[in-house]
Structure 1
Amino acid sequence: MKRTAILMTSVAIVGAGGTALAEESLNVSAYGGSWGEALAACVFTPFQAETGISVIVEPSASTVTLSKLQAEAASPVTDVAWMDGGVSELARDSGVVAPIDPALAPGLEGVIDQAKYKTDDGGIYAVGNGYFAVGIVYNSEEITTPPTSWEDLWNPEYAGRVILPSAVNSIGVPMLATFNALAGGKLEDLTPAVEKMAQMEPALFFDSSGVANSGFQTGEGVIGAHYATQAFTMSDSGLPIAYAIPKEGAMASDIRIHIVNGTKHVEAAHKLVDFAVQPAQAGCLAAALQVGPSTQGVDLPPEVAARMPWGSEGSVDDLAVADWSAINAHRDTLTETWNRIATGN
Structure 2
Amino acid sequence: MPSPRPALAASAVLTATALLATACSSTASPAGSSGGGSGKQTVTFMGFYGSFQDEFTKTVIDPFEKANPDITVKYVPIQNSAEVLAKLRASKSRPVADVALMDRSVAPTANKEKVFAKLDPAKVPNLRRLVDTARSKDGYGPGFSLDSLSILYHSKKVKQAPTSWNDLWDPAYKGKLAMPIADTRGVALIIALEKILGGDYKKDIDPAIGRLKKLAPGVETWQPSPDVYTAVQSGEAQVAVGWNARGQYYKDSSGGVVQPVLPKEGTVTQINTINLAANSPHTAAAQKFIDYAIGAKAQKAFDEAAFYAPVNRDVRLSPAVKNRTAASDVQRKNQIPTDWDWLTTRYTAWVDRIKQEVISG
TM-score interval w.r.t. the shorter chain? 0.7 to 0.9
Distance in 2 separating the partners of 1:117 and 1:54: 27
Q: Does 1:159 align with 2:194?
A: no
Which of 145, 150, 168 in structure 1 is aligned with 2:165?
Answer: 150
Contact 1:253 1:321 in 2 (8 A): no
Q: Find the partner of 1:279 among 272, 293, 296.
A: 296
CA distance in 1, matches of 2:334, 2:64: 32
Structure 2 contact 149–188 (Cα < 8 Å) conserved: no
User: Using the alignment, how far apart are the partners of 1:317 and 1:100 within structure 2?
Assistant: 33
Q: Which residue matches 1:251?
A: 268
Q: CA deviation at 1:252?
A: 0.9
Normalised TM-score (structure 1): 0.85
The one-letter amino acid paired with 2:239 is I
RMSD between aligned residues: 2.7
Tell me which residue corresponds to 1:331.
Answer: 347
Q: Where does residue 59 of structure 1 map in the other structure? A: 77
Structure 1 residues 169-180: aligned runs within 5 Å: 169-180=183-194
When structure 1 is superposed on structure 2, of 100-109 and 195-204 the one drifting more is 195-204
2:210 to 180, 195, 213: 195
Q: Identify if the C-alpha distance between structure 1 residues 31 and 147 changes in structure 2 by more than 3 Å, giving closer, same or farther.
A: same
Q: Is the 8 A contact 2:192 2:267 kept in 1?
A: no
Q: Do the aligned residues in 2 keep the contact of 1:253 with 1:322 (CA within 8 Å)? A: no
Tell me how far 1:53 sits from its aligned partner.
0.7
How far the C-alpha of 1:178 sits from its partner, in A, is: 3.6
Quote the Cα distance in structure 2 between the aligned partners of 1:125 and 1:235: 34
Secondary structure, counterpart of 2:184 in structure 1: coil
Deviation at 1:150, TM superposition (A): 0.8
Q: Tell me, what secondary structure is at the counterpart of 1:269?
A: helix
Secondary structure of the residue that 1:82 maps to in structure 2?
Answer: strand
CA distance in 1, matches of 2:235, 2:265: 27
**Which amino acid in the other structure matches residue 338 of structure 1?**
I
Please tell me the residue identity of whatever aligns with 2:339: D
Letter in 2 for 1:166: I
What amino acid does structure 1 have at the position aligned with 2:107? S
Mapped pair 1:110 → 2:126: no
Q: Is the 8 A contact 1:229 1:290 kept in 2?
A: yes
Any stretches of 5+ residues in structure 1 without a counterpart? 13-19
Q: In the alignment, what sits opposite 2:105?
A: 86
* Aligned twin of 1:74: 93
Tell me which amino acid in the other structure corresponds to 1:73: K
AA of the residue aligned to 2:265: E
Shift, 1:321, TM fit: 5.6
Distance in 2 (CA, whole Å) between partners of 1:162 and 1:31 is 24
CA distance in 1, matches of 2:330, 2:213: 37
Which amino acid counterpart does residue 128 of structure 2 have in structure 1?
E
Aligned to 1:141: 156
Structure 2 residue corresponding to 1:30, chosen from 43, 47, 51: 47
Q: 1:218 to 1:207 in 2, by over 3 A?
A: closer
Alpha-carbon deviation of 1:30? 1.1
Matched, 1:48 2:62: no
SS in 1 for 2:315: coil
Deviation of 1:163 after TM superposition, in Å, equals 1.6
Cα pair 1:180 1:187 within 8 Å, conserved: no
CA distance in 2 between partners of 1:277 and 1:33 (Å): 21
Letter in 1 for 2:342: A
Distance 2:34 2:47 in 1: 18
Counterparts of 2:191 and 2:311 in 1: how far apart (Å)? 26
- Structure-2 residue corresponding to 1:214: 230
Q: CA deviation at 1:126?
A: 1.4
1:125 pairs with 2:143: no
CA shift for structure 1 position 291: 0.5
Whole-angstrom CA distance in 2 between matches of 1:135 and 1:279: 26
Number of aligned pairs?
A: 330
Rate the CA distance shift 1:82–1:99 in 2: closer, same or farther, 3 A.
same
Contact map agreement 2:178 2:224 (CA 8 A) in 1: no
Match of 2:286 in 1: 269
For the 8 Å contact 2:124–2:287, the answer to whether it is kept is yes
Residue type matched to 1:258 in 2? N
Structure 2 stretches lacking a partner, 5+ long: 1-14, 27-31
In structure 2, how many angstroms separate the alpha carbons of the residues matched to 1:196 and 1:112?
Answer: 35
- CA displacement 1:142-176 (0-9 Å, x = unmatched): 33433222111001111111122232x43233324
Q: CA deviation at 1:197?
A: 2.2
- Aligned-partner Cα distance in 1 for 2:83–2:337: 22
**Taking structure 1 as reference, are residues 86 and 214 closer, same or farther at Cα in structure 2, changes over 3 Å only?**
same
